[in-house]
């Protein structure tokens, strides 16, 4: 496997291609600061990486690509600091960075996460993780560096527009990979690989849950939620600046429609609940903070939304709904087998927390908790059931059992600070109420879907990108950006 791995063209691209890009850019007169930004743009394409030559093809390649791109951005930033930045500029910018409440909140969470690694049941697993997940302390350091570099380097709105556009390109490529995989293209791994595929392109698309290039349909929906936010942001900002051309509006509308389609094709009920909650928050925000016209519109939409929600809930278990192509999204019940397994594993996570309540068992150590407190209900003789979990299948119970009360509270603290900063910002400035409502709703969607799924690379990438943007958004809202500090 080692020979195959290092002969893989993608590994060659990571090891040789990314540094060569920076060298070539410098040869053409680009500053190290700009090169550092470009590596951050490149990092978001990690979601598209799939390596067929390794045991977990949807995991390792993404992690390696992302880590190397972030590390090269960090190197380029240091080179800019050492050779190109004016005296005191980088130091001043760094001091200002850590004065931001949201940066401090994320820093506290990462510190708690790493401390939990040091105190873990298995320190090696907590820090380095494994080939199946790759989400240990070492990876968290890279997420944190990605967040800091974004907040440190992206000081103009055009930088955020650029990375959102690159993220949208990566989302389209993620979907493109999934389409090739669903239709059985050689070299692409999909839901029908190794099994009998249905006949007809329509059934190839809807019969199985859409996985894209992420390898798990449960990751597709939350990733696309953030992608839809990026589209909405670009659309609204262009409209406010009166630079929105007709073709741009149509392009953004088509992108949102496509993302919504594949959001539903993933059939992820947790994300479906998350997006419903976020829609409620969005409409309620418009109802209380919007203009009279916006309040009237949002009140009408809220009433329609509640009526449709009630009807959908009432008919969710009927034969008609169950036979719908995506009827799984409405089949919500605590007696459902999937819901039952979640409740059992959450109970085990709680027992693990009670044993080690302060810093938990350590990231990537949930298997020890699961094995020690195994619930016999998972094993049903004669039935094909899932009897082993390495995660609590909830971001809240995951952090509770793996990082203890310290980790969970620091994680939740990020969102408390976010909400505080949001309302503090919007007391001081006049902004697009629609844009503000969307920015407030996105964390709600993320936390809502997190009730029933754990964080992995696509979610972490999107979350840290969004939070870095939020630091810029809040700062801009309070008028703290000085044009004299913007570098060439």
Between residues 387 and 268, which one has the greater pLDDT?
268
Q: Looking at the structure, tell me whether residues 306 and 199 fall in a common domain.
A: yes
**What's the number of domains the chain is made of?**
2
Q: What is the DSSP string of 401-425?
A: HHHHHHHHHHHHHHHHHHHHHHHHH
Tell me the Ramachandran region of residue 129: left when phi exceeds 0, alpha when psi lies from -120 to 50, beta otherwise.
left
The residue segments making up the domain with residue 252 are 98-337+387-480
Q: Looking at the structure, tell me whether residues 176 and 27 fall in a common domain.
A: no
The answer to whether residues 467 and 147 touch, using CB atoms and an 8 Å cutoff, is yes
Answer whether residue 350 is part of any domain. Answer: no
Q: Looking at the structure, tell me whether residues 83 and 116 fall in a common domain.
A: no
Q: Looking at the structure, tell me whether residues 283 and 309 fall in a common domain.
A: yes
What is the enclosing helix (H) or strand (E) of 473? helix 457-477
Closest alpha carbon to 26 in 38, 15, 16: 38
The answer to whether residues 482 and 93 touch, using CB atoms and an 8 Å cutoff, is no
Q: Looking at the structure, tell me whether residues 176 and 38 fall in a common domain.
A: no
Return the top range by mean pLDDT from 95-104, 175-184, 241-250.
Answer: 95-104
**d(Cα 236, Cα 317) in Å, to the nearest integer?**
38
Q: Looking at the structure, tell me whether residues 395 and 443 fall in a common domain.
A: yes
Answer whether residue 66 is part of any domain. Answer: yes
Q: What are phi and psi of 59, to 5 degrees?
A: -110, -65
Mean pLDDT, residues 456-482: 83
- pLDDT tens, position by position, 167-210: 999 999 999 999 998 888 888 888 877 676 777 777 777 777 89
Q: Looking at the structure, tell me whether residues 60 and 205 fall in a common domain.
A: no
Please tell me the total number of residues recorded for the chain in this structure: 488
In the chain the first and final C-alpha atoms are separated, in Å, by 46
**Boundary residue ending a domain (46, 73, 91):** 91
Return the top range by mean pLDDT from 9-23, 148-162, 198-212, 417-431.
Answer: 148-162
**Boundary residue ending a domain (91, 109, 128):** 91
Confidence band (pLDDT; 50, 70, 90) for 81?
very high
**Boundary residue ending a domain (36, 69, 91):** 91
Q: Residue 137 above 60 pLDDT?
A: yes
Confidence band (pLDDT; 50, 70, 90) for 4?
very low
- State what percent of residues in the chain have pLDDT above 70: 87
Q: What is the mean pLDDT of the chain?
A: 87
Look up the pTM and report it: 0.91
**d(Cα 428, Cα 426) in Å, to the nearest integer?**
5
């Amino acid at each position: 496997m080692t020979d195959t791995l290092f002969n893989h063209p993608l590994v060659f691209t990571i090891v040789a291609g990314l540094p060569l890009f920076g060298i070539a850019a410098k040869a053409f007169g680009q500053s190290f600061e700009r090169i550092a930004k470009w590596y951050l743009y490149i990092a978001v394409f990690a979601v598209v990486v799939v390596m067929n030559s390794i045991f977990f093809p949807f995991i390792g390649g993404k992690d390696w690509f992302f880590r190397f791109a972030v590390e090269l951005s960090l190197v380029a930033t240091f080179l800019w600091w050492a050779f190109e930045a004016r005296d005191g500029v980088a130091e001043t910018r760094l001091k200002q960075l850590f004065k931001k409440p949201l940066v401090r909140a994320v820093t506290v969470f990462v510190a708690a996460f790493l401390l939990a690694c040091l105190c873990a049941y298995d320190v090696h697993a907590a820090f380095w993780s494994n080939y199946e997940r790759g989400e240990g302390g070492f990876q968290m350091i890279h997420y944190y560096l990605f967040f800091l570099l974004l907040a440190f380097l992206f000081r103009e709105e055009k930088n955020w527009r650029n990375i959102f556009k690159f993220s949208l390109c990566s989302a389209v490529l993620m979907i493109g990979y999934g389409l090739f995989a669903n239709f059985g293209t050689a070299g692409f791994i999909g839901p029908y690989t190794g099994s009998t595929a249905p006949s007809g392109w329509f059934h190839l698309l809807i019969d199985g849950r859409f996985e894209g290039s992420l390898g798990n349909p449960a990751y597709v929906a939350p990733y696309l939620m953030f992608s839809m936010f990026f589209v909405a942001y670009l659309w609204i900002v262009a409209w406010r600046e009166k630079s929105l051309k007709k073709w741009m509006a149509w392009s953004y509308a088509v992108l949102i429609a496509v993302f919504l389609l594949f959001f539903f094709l993933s059939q992820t009920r947790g994300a479906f609940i998350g997006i419903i909650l976020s829609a409620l928050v969005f409409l309620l925000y418009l109802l209380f903070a919007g203009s009279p016209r916006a309040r009237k519109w949002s009140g009408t939409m809220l009433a329609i939304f509640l009526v449709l929600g009630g009807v959908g809930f009432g008919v969710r278990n009927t034969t008609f709904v169950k036979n719908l192509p995506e009827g799984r999204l409405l089949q919500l019940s605590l007696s459902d087998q999937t819901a039952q397994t979640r409740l059992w594993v959450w109970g085990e996570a709680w027992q693990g927390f009670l044993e080690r309540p302060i810093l938990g068992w350590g990231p990537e150590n949930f298997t020890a908790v699961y094995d020690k407190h195994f619930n016999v209900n998972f094993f049903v003789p004669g039935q094909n059931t899932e009897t082993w979990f390495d995660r609590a299948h909830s971001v809240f119970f995951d952090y509770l059992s793996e990082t203890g009360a310290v980790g969970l509270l620091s994680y939740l603290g990020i969102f408390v600070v976010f909400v505080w900063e949001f309302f503090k910002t919007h007391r001081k400035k006049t902004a697009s109420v629609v844009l503000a409502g969307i920015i407030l709703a996105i964390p709600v969607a993320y936390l809502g879907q997190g009730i029933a799924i754990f964080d992995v690379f696509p979610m972490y990438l999107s979350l840290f990108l969004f939070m870095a943007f939020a630091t810029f958004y809040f700062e801009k809202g309070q008028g703290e950006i000085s044009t004299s500090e913007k570098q060439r």
